[in-house]
Amino acid sequence: MLTKQDAQDALHDLEMQKEQTLKMLPIFLSEAIVIGDYETIQQQLNGYITSPYVQNIVFYDATGKSLQSSDTEEPKDAPQWFETLFGLYDSYGQTHISVGGIDYGSIAVRLSIQSFSNRIWNDFRVHFGVMFAIILLDFLGLWLTLYRSLEQLSALEQSTIDLGNGYFAPIQLQGGLRETAKVVNAFNLMIQKVKTTQVELQETSNEMKQRKHWIETILNSLDEGVYAIDSNGTILLANAKACSILGYTEEELIGQQAHRLFHSHTLNGDIIPLEECPIYKALVTKSAWKDDTEYFTCKDSRMIPVEIFGNSIVHEDQALGMVFAFRNIEERKALEEKMKLLSTALEATTNAVIITNKDAIIEWVSKGFEEITGYHLGEALGRTPHELVGSGKQEKIFYTHMWETILSNQPWHGEVINKRKNGQLYYESLQITPVSDDHGNITHFIAIKEDISDRKRTEEEMEHLAFYDPLTDLPNRRLLMDRIERAIVSAKRYQTFGAIFFLDLDYFKRINDELGHDVGDLLLQDMARRLKDSLRQGDSIARLGGDEFVILLEDLGDTKIFATQYMKALAQKVQDAFIDPFIYNEKSYSLSISLGGILFTGTQDAKIILKNADSALYEAKQTGRHKSCFYNETK
């Protein structure tokens, strides 16, 4: 019998359709929306409502202008009280359209519950009709028994009519012997009893006719076809719906052999032998039977799929026949094919789809989950996603925020680092949507996961190229300026000194021209390594281009004397790093650098600091190279 679960499942399926529609519509409309082609948008909106369950779509652009699709309305079978009783209502949803970070408006959709409510209503009537038909089996058996009794009573009545010529009048005594009077009195008493019996029989006959009419009326009111056969398979009765489905009149069905008339062939046209017919087998074995894979042949030769229920009519251990209730399930079969197609499409997606209960216990995963994580369905069932793929890379506050969002019945989206079955870490785009019952209680969560490792890797590479020199893998000018700005802010906050060295390689152009650019590149890489080895951890070194390098020193104390001493000592350490020659192709090349340095505080500008350090470098080169000069603000 119908339960609330059927309605809940219908609402759940409708919500799934809504989420899918809200996901696909922005992709479907994005091109026309971006170029502002409202005519194409209108056509696409009208075209999209042919999708299952979608009844109405409204597009609101960023200026408030709206476009609305034409409405579609499926014929309504289920009465309003039925939809209200089981909480079957249409679903509404809205999503924003953003392309390239630009908000182009939003789309609102309304999905009709009508298909589901019609199907549930029809199922309700089927189950009610079948139960009622089963209840009526005893009445039908009683009717058949009484029908035969009526024939016997009619025969008895006819015999009585024949005996008395249809008239029972008491014999009037005209005198006579005492014995004759006794016989006459006894005969008159018999006449009176016969008359009383005749009246009783007439009342019983009227009652049986009324009951028969009542049963026939109920059978003809059912929305399922009902027919009964005797032990030979001959049709005894058929209700109006059975005649309507099969295309025969009642007179054309009664007395015909059911198997031969409409159940003698398979859908492929193959003949079904009587002894192999499942209906005939149920008749022989006197057992209840149900199936939804059978096909009936209509009068116009159409083959229709039917769902059929059968039960034996048994009286005093004697099988009188069987009664069947059936219905045409062409629409349901078509819907099942569509659902199968949708399920196949879901399995075909490369994204992972996970369904859990309210406690995050996995109840189903798609094929994409196995491809991304390495865990198949059998391994995932009964476990939590975090238990399977948790990497420990996210902080506790991350999951706290996520659970606060979804437990408030709101969808959540974010990026996480998870771990595959083989231990490999990967980036994942994760969207979690809670599913609630009619009372707003969360019953399930649906998660859609996408492996974005390649995209994140590309983003990291692009970000690295934007801030680092590709030859030496040192920070470039852009990252250096950012670090200098931060160092100035830090120096101002803590009242400390910092320093900058501007340096280049002496006679680099001569070496580059003599040995070639490839060797020059090797020399620059060696120079970067020597500079890094001579600095403290936390100091920064950057390559501006060519052989120009900049060193940033932070936190040199809060006294100028100490900062100046430390700056000069480190400058000498950097100079000493180039005492050893550069070896290439078993030849040695002496190296030296010129260096310009400057102290700075939190009150100076980064560009001016670099300019002054460059001036100090220029002074070092003018005084003979292989020297370190320091900018004097008093000049």
User: Looking at the structure, do residues 316 and 354 belong to the same domain, yes or no?
Assistant: no
The residue from 125, 152, 181 where one domain ends is: 125
User: Looking at the structure, do residues 487 and 600 belong to the same domain, yes or no?
Assistant: yes
* pLDDT for 149: 40
Distance between CA atoms of residues 546 and 520, nearest Å:
10
Distance between CA atoms of residues 292 and 176, nearest Å:
80
On whether residue 133 sits in a domain, the answer given is no
On whether residue 329 sits in a domain, the answer given is yes
On whether residue 11 sits in a domain, the answer given is no
The residue from 423, 457, 491 where one domain ends is: 457
* pLDDT for 130: 63
Distance between CA atoms of residues 477 and 467, nearest Å:
8
In terms of residues, how long is the chain? 635
Number of neighbouring beta carbons within 10 Å of residue 438: 13
Pair 324, 262: CB distance under 8 Å = no
- H or E stretch covering 370: helix 367-373
User: Looking at the structure, do residues 572 and 494 belong to the same domain, yes or no?
Assistant: yes
User: Looking at the structure, do residues 626 and 515 belong to the same domain, yes or no?
Assistant: yes
Percent of the chain whose predicted confidence (pLDDT) is above 90? 38
User: Looking at the structure, do residues 453 and 471 belong to the same domain, yes or no?
Assistant: no
- CATH code of the domain containing 324: 3.30.450.20
User: Looking at the structure, do residues 319 and 364 belong to the same domain, yes or no?
Assistant: no
Determine the residue type at 165.
N
On whether residue 197 sits in a domain, the answer given is no
On whether residue 185 sits in a domain, the answer given is no
User: Looking at the structure, do residues 486 and 587 belong to the same domain, yes or no?
Assistant: yes
Buried (b) or exposed (e) across 162-182, using 16+ Cβ within 10 A? eeeeeebeeeeeeeeeeeeee
Number of neighbouring beta carbons within 10 Å of residue 423: 8
Phi, psi dihedral angles at 372 (to 5 degrees) = -80, -45
* pLDDT for 148: 43
On whether residue 495 sits in a domain, the answer given is yes
Query: Tens digits of per-residue pLDDT, 47-89?
Result: 776 666 777 788 788 777 887 776 666 677 778 777 787 777 7
* pLDDT for 40: 84
The residue from 408, 426, 457 where one domain ends is: 457
Number of domains in the chain: 4
Query: Tens digits of per-residue pLDDT, 429-480?
Result: 999 999 999 888 999 999 999 888 888 888 777 888 888 999 999 999 999 9
Buried (b) or exposed (e) across 8-38, using 16+ Cβ within 10 A? bebbbbbbbbbbebbeebbebbeebbeeeee
On whether residue 62 sits in a domain, the answer given is yes
CA angle 291–118–222, rounded 5-degree value:
60
* pLDDT for 452: 87
User: Looking at the structure, do residues 329 and 377 belong to the same domain, yes or no?
Assistant: no
Residues in a beta bridge with 265: 271
Task: Please state which of the ranges 73-77, 108-112, 299-303 shows the lowest mean pLDDT.
Answer: 73-77
User: Looking at the structure, do residues 585 and 474 belong to the same domain, yes or no?
Assistant: yes
Residue 242 has pLDDT above 60, yes or no: yes
**What are the structure tokens assigned to 334, written together?**
């078509």
Structural domain containing residue 113: 21-125
Query: Tens digits of per-residue pLDDT, 111-158?
Result: 777 777 777 777 777 776 666 667 666 666 555 544 444 343 343 344
User: Looking at the structure, do residues 624 and 475 belong to the same domain, yes or no?
Assistant: yes
* pLDDT for 150: 39
User: Looking at the structure, do residues 325 and 360 belong to the same domain, yes or no?
Assistant: no
- CATH code of the domain containing 611: 3.30.70.270
Query: Tens digits of per-residue pLDDT, 497-552?
Result: 999 999 999 888 888 888 888 888 999 999 999 999 999 888 999 999 889 999 99
On whether residue 288 sits in a domain, the answer given is yes
First to last CA, the chain: 99
Mean pLDDT, the chain, integer? 83
* pLDDT for 87: 77
C-alpha separations of 386 from 144, 255, 559 in Å:
67, 67, 53
* pLDDT for 168: 59
* The 3-state secondary structure of 100-152, one letter per residue: CCEEEEEEEEEECCHHHHHHHHHHHHHHHHHHHHHHHHHHHHHHHHHHHHHHH
C-alpha separations of 244 from 124, 301, 308, 604 in Å:
20, 14, 16, 95
Q: Is the dihedral of CA 361, 363, 368, 374 positive or negative?
A: positive
Residue 261 has pLDDT above 70, yes or no: yes
Query: Tens digits of per-residue pLDDT, 397-421?
Result: 999 999 999 999 999 999 999 999 9
User: Looking at the structure, do residues 277 and 378 belong to the same domain, yes or no?
Assistant: no
